[in-house]
Amino acid sequence: MKKLLIGLTVGLLCFAFICPLSSLADNSQGQGNQSVEQKVLVITGKVKTIDVSTQTITIEPTGLSIHRLFNRIFGRNKIQNQTYLVNVPTTTQILKKGIDGTRVNGVFADLAVNQKLQIKGIRSQATNSSFTASQIFILNIAKVPVTSRPTTTISTACSVTSDCTKCGNKCIRKVVGQVINCPKMEVTSNMTCECVNATCQIAAVKPEEEYCAKTGTDVKMSYKDALAIASASTSACLKEGALLTQHFCNEGGYWWIDFKPTTAHKGCNPACVVDIVNKTAEINWRCTGLIPTTTD
């Protein structure tokens, strides 16, 4: 048993120092008359840094390595992994997983810190710690820590109402392509968002237009228009008092709007009546008896 353990240990030592850190393939087979050999390096690792100006990345190997296994067996866990400097020229083929799981073409901008990559390239003749990539496959999408995620600026500035949208119990400005996680609580159904004084604000939903039509004709008038006629400066109603909110339409073609006179008339319940044909307004006192007159 002791001899077996010694044999295994010797075997591991030999294998550890003979095998490279990552899988290497000789690119110069059949080219024995060349004075310099080029080694093709295939390595799997995690991106540590990215330099856009020089089109380079540094990567730390994470794949299974005989050296790493040897270090673990003999208690050398504190030895740091070697970091490679990878040149990524414009000719490098960058691949990533598409939505359906198939490989699709990518670009240098798709690379990110903490991504796991599989890289194939030519090792530098000057140093074993750098090489030029010919192919990069992005194995996963880097998970950015919550603390380092860019914050989304939420604005309430607006020019028109169509700029605004609901977000929880607030109204904010819509931004094309911006994704905002709004609270589940929504603006109530009878409320909407409007642009008021260049700011998105909550507003009550305006009721649907009410119309009054005269029977037997095509003449009709909205309550909004009737209210405008009754509230005009030339209106007899406005001269005698104030309009109330209660209103109704009769089939004769008149809007009846409750009215509070400046001077009360005993036994009367006045209304401002708008004629939808003539577009005029006058007071109907709706008294139960004769209006008493005063004498000097």
Predicted local confidence at residue 261, as pLDDT: 92
Q: What is the pLDDT along the chain (296 residues), one digit of tens a residue?
A: 656 666 666 565 555 444 443 433 344 444 444 444 567 878 888 999 998 888 899 988 876 555 555 555 555 444 345 788 899 998 999 988 876 677 888 888 888 888 888 889 887 777 767 888 999 998 886 554 444 444 456 788 888 888 888 887 788 888 776 667 776 654 455 678 888 888 998 887 666 678 899 988 889 998 889 999 999 888 889 889 999 988 999 989 999 999 899 988 888 999 999 999 999 999 999 888 655 554 44
The predicted pLDDT at position 157 comes to 87
Residue 278 has a pLDDT of: 93
Domain residue spans in the chain? 2-28+37-143, 159-204, 211-284
- Please give the pLDDT value at position 271: 94
pLDDT at 57: 92
Architecture of domain 2-28+37-143: Beta Barrel (2.40)
CA 95 vs CA 90, 101, 135: distances in Å: 13, 12, 8
